[in-house]
Amino acid sequence: MYQLTDEKRLYDQARRLLTDSEVTDPGVAVSQLREVIAYADWKYYVQDDPALADEEYDKLFKKLKQLEDRHPELVTADSPTRRIASGLSERFPAVSHMVPMLSLDNTYNADDLRDWDERCRELASVEELEYCVEPKYDGASISLVYENGILTRGATRGDGIMGEDITNNIMQIKAIPLSAPFANLGIGQIEIRGEVVIHKKDFEEFNRQRIAGGLSPLANPRNAASGTLRILDPAEVRKRKLNAILYHISFYTTDSEKAAANAADLRATELDTHRHSLEWLYKMGLPTPARQMRLFRHIDEVIQFCNEFESQRDELPFEIDGLVIKVNSFALQDKMGMTSHHPRWAVAYKFRARQATSKLLKVEFQVGRTGAVTPVAKIEPVPIGGVTVGSISLFNEDVVREKDLRIGDTVLVERAGDVIPYIVKSFPELRDGSEQEIVFPENCPACGEKLEKQEDMAAWRCISSSCPVQLAERLMHFASKDAMDIRSLGTANVQKFFDLDLLKDIPGIYNMDWQKVRLLGGFGEKSIQNLTEAIENSKKQPLNRLIFGLGIRYVGETTAKTLASAVTNIRELYDWSVEKLLTLEDVGPKVANSVSHFFSLPENRHMIDHLGEAGVNLLNEQKSAVGADGALSGKTFLFTGTLSQFKRSDAEAIVEQKGGNILGSVSSKLNFLVVGTDAGSKLEKAKKLGTVTILTEDEFLSLTTQQ
C-alpha cells in the first residue's frame, strides 16, 4: 500500500507537522495530518513497526482534532478523529450480510484431513490441489463493507444471514483503516470478512484491571473480543485495544464499465487465488494473515505443518484454536461450491482443547499487595497443554458462588494459551454428599485484622497498614520486571529480607544494611554485588516504571505511562485534582480518585522523598533535562514568526539538546518566546502575561552559545 518513497515522504511530513506550530492553511494541514495518522496506524497495527513515538502520535492527533473543532466543514467520513465516537448507542440495528456468513466444517486429526482432501480432489476433478493454510484466530467474526473506498459498515456475524450493525465500535479498532484505495480500482462496494481479536497481553492486562476493580475476569480472549464489540459505549471499546485480521473477500461490485474491465484484470491477476487476495488486501492497507500463511501441494505437507504449528501456538501474540485450510484457486472454489452451512473448499483443523478434569482439594486464601484476599483453588495436579496445573486463582467470592464450587468437587479446568488457567465449571451431578462448602475467612490470614468489603466490590480486603504480607507483596511489585526491574531482588530474596527484618518498606531497598546481610550468611559476595548493582541501576529507571512500581490502585502500566508523560517531576502530581486527572487520556473517575488519594497521603509523599534522597529518578526525562548538566535544563521555549537565521526545527533541536523543552502555546509555564519577523498573537499574549522573556534570534543564539 505504501511505497518506500511514500513512506519517506510521510515520515518527513510527520516530522514537519510535529515541529510546525503555526497553521497557514487549515485545509492542507488537516489532510496532511490525516494522511500521516492513517500511515502511522498502518505501520503500528498492520506492519507492527511503529513510525512514531506514542507521544508524537498523540500530539498529531490532538492537532487534527483541534483543527476540526475549529473548522467543522473540514471533517470527513474517514477522518481518524471519527474513531472517537461520542455518546452511547441505543442498540445495534440488525443488518443483512451481502453474502451469508457460513461457518467452517471441523477436522480433528490426520485421517479427517485425508478424507477431506480426497473429497476435494473429487469435486474439483483434479489429481493435485494447492492448499493455503492460515491460523484460525480465536476471536469474534466480523464483516466490513467499504463503499467507494470508505468504511461504511461493520457487522457481527449474528446468525450468518443477519448480523448486528456495530460500525461505531468497529471504528475504534485502529488496525482497520477507515478508508482504502478500492475506489481507485473502480471497486464500488466490497465486503470483507475477518476476525476481531485481542492480544494475549492486552487480555491479561484487561483481566488484571477487572480483578483490581473487583470484577470477575473473562474466561478467554474470544469472550473479551466478542463482548467488547457489543458494548454500547464506543469510548469503552477503544480502551480495550482490539485488533483485527481480515481473510476473505465475499463480494465486490464495480462502478462503471471501465471499472468492470479493470476488475476483470484484477480477477485474472490479483484476485485469482486465496493467497493473492490476501496479498492484495494487505497492499490495500488491511491487516491479513498474509505473512503467516503457507502454501502446500500435498495433504501430507498440510498435516505435517498442522502438527508443527500446534506446538508453536503459544508463540503467537493472539490466541488461535486451530488452522484453516483452503483450496487456493478461486476458480476451483467456485466449482466445488458450498453446502447450506459450510463451504466445501475450506475446513478448520482444530487443535486439542486445553481442558482437563481434576478434583478441587482445598481453597487457600492469599493476601495481595492491595490487601485483597484472593481464594486460590488447590487441585489434584493435572497436565494441560504441556504444563502441570495444581493451583488456580478463583479471584473472589462472587466467582466461587457463581460457579457453585465445593471442596471435593470434580472440576473442568481450561488453560487458553499462556493465559492463566481457570476453572470452567464444577460437575454437581458427580457429587456424593461428602463435598464441603467453601468458607471465607472473616479475618486476614496474614495479620488477623478483620476483613472489610467495600460496596460494589467483590473482594474482601485487609485494610491494616501494617499487614506484613501486603508490605512484602508491595516490595515485590516494586522490584518486578515491569516496574523497577531489580532482577536479582527476586521474590525469594524480598521475602527473606522481609522475614529477617532487613527490609521494611520500599525506600528500604536503597538503604539496605549489606554488612548485616553478609553476617546472616546465605549470600555470596558475588550475589551481593549483583544485588547492589541491580539496585543502583534501578535508580535510573524512567518515571513511568517508578509510578507503576508504587502500586497505586488501578494504575497499570499504561496509566503509569500516561501519568508520567503528563508531568516533569512526580511531585507535580501532589497538586493534581481529580478534575485535572480526568483530562488525561483513558483516565476515568475510579483511577483519578485513586491517584489523587494516593498522592494526598503524607506517608506516600514521605516515601517519595526518601526515594528521591536515595537517588531514585523522580523526573520525566523526556520533558525535563536531557542530561543533568543541560544548560537549558528546566527552561521552556516557544518559537513564533518567520525565523531568518535557522530552521525552526533546528532551533528546537538545539533547545532540546541542551535540556530545554518546547511548549506548544504561550502559557504561564513558558520561560522564553523567540520571535522572528511577522510574529502575531503569540507575541501579544506573551507580552500580556508579563512573565515570559522575549528573545530575538540573535539573543537566542547568544543565550545558547554562551552556555
Stretch that binds Zn ion, among 12-20, 146-154, 203-211, 467-475 (CB under 5 A): 467-475
Stretch that binds Zn ion, among 28-36, 442-450, 554-562, 686-694 (CB under 5 A): 442-450
Decide: is 444 part of the binding site for Zn ion (CB under 5 A). yes
- Indicate the residue among 64 and 446 with the shorter CB distance to Zn ion: 446
In angstroms, what CA-CA distances link 458 with 224, 463, 528?
Answer: 20, 15, 42
Decide: is 244 part of the binding site for Zn ion (CB under 5 A). no
Q: Are 317 and 200 in contact (CB under 8 A)?
A: yes
**455 CB contacts (<8 Å, ≥6 apart)?**
none
State the nearest-atom distance from the C-beta of 491 to Zn ion, in Å.
19
Question: Looking at 212, 242, 394, 446, which residue binds Zn ion (CB under 5 A)?
Answer: 446
Structure-block grid coordinates of residue 456: 460494589
Decide: is 472 part of the binding site for Zn ion (CB under 5 A). no
Report how many residues bind Zn ion under the rule CB under 5 A.
7
- Indicate the residue among 136 and 369 with the shorter CB distance to Zn ion: 369
Stretch that binds Zn ion, among 296-304, 441-449, 560-568, 624-632 (CB under 5 A): 441-449
Decide: is 462 part of the binding site for Zn ion (CB under 5 A). yes
Q: Are 519 and 556 in contact (CB under 8 A)?
A: no
Decide: is 451 part of the binding site for Zn ion (CB under 5 A). no
| Dihedral over alpha carbons 539, 542, 545, 549 (to 10 degrees) | 30
For residue 109, count other CB atoms closer than 10 A to its CB. 12
For residue 258, count other CB atoms closer than 10 A to its CB. 10
- Indicate the residue among 50 and 441 with the shorter CB distance to Zn ion: 441
What are the strands of the beta sheet with 661-662, ordered from one edge? 661-662, 636-640, 672-675, 693-695
Decide: is 263 part of the binding site for Zn ion (CB under 5 A). no
- Indicate the residue among 20 and 449 with the shorter CB distance to Zn ion: 449
Decide: is 246 part of the binding site for Zn ion (CB under 5 A). no
Structure-block grid coordinates of residue 567: 508531568
Residue 446 identity (one-letter amino acid): A
Site map for Zn ion, 398-437, x if CB under 5 A? ----------------------------------------
Q: C-alpha angle with apex 27: 23 to 29, nearest 5 degrees? A: 45
| Dihedral over alpha carbons 460, 465, 467, 472 (to 10 degrees) | 100
State the nearest-atom distance from the C-beta of 370 to Zn ion, in Å.
11
Out of 136, 174, 350, 635, pick the active-site residue: 136
Q: Tell me the CB-side half-sphere exposure of residue 693, using CA atoms within 13 A.
A: 10
- Indicate the residue among 205 and 449 with the shorter CB distance to Zn ion: 449
**Closest C-alpha among 79, 68, 87, 81 to residue 26:** 68
Three state DSSP letters for 487-545: CCCCHHHHHHHHHCCCCCCHHHHHHCCHHHHHHHCCCCHHHHHHHHHHHHHHCCCCHHH
State the nearest-atom distance from the C-beta of 469 to Zn ion, in Å.
6
- Indicate the residue among 360 and 372 with the shorter CB distance to Zn ion: 372
Residue 330's DSSP bridge partners are none
Decide: is 467 part of the binding site for Zn ion (CB under 5 A). yes
Decide: is 531 part of the binding site for Zn ion (CB under 5 A). no
- Indicate the residue among 373 and 389 with the shorter CB distance to Zn ion: 373
Decide: is 447 part of the binding site for Zn ion (CB under 5 A). yes
State the nearest-atom distance from the C-beta of 453 to Zn ion, in Å.
14
Stretch that binds Zn ion, among 216-224, 279-287, 465-473, 644-652 (CB under 5 A): 465-473
Stretch that binds Zn ion, among 46-54, 282-290, 415-423, 449-457 (CB under 5 A): 449-457
Structure-block grid coordinates of residue 689: 502575561
State the nearest-atom distance from the C-beta of 449 to Zn ion, in Å.
5
* Residue with cell string 530575538: 696
**Closest C-alpha among 408, 410, 407, 440 to residue 425:** 410
State the nearest-atom distance from the C-beta of 600 to Zn ion, in Å.
23
Subset of 17-46 contacting Zn ion (CB under 5 A): none
**326 belongs to the catalytic site:** no
Q: How far apart are CA 115 and CA 276, in angstroms?
A: 27
Stretch that binds Zn ion, among 197-205, 271-279, 454-462, 614-622 (CB under 5 A): 454-462
Decide: is 463 part of the binding site for Zn ion (CB under 5 A). no
Active site residues: 136
Q: Which residues bind Zn ion (CB under 5 A)?
A: 444, 446-447, 449, 462, 464, 467
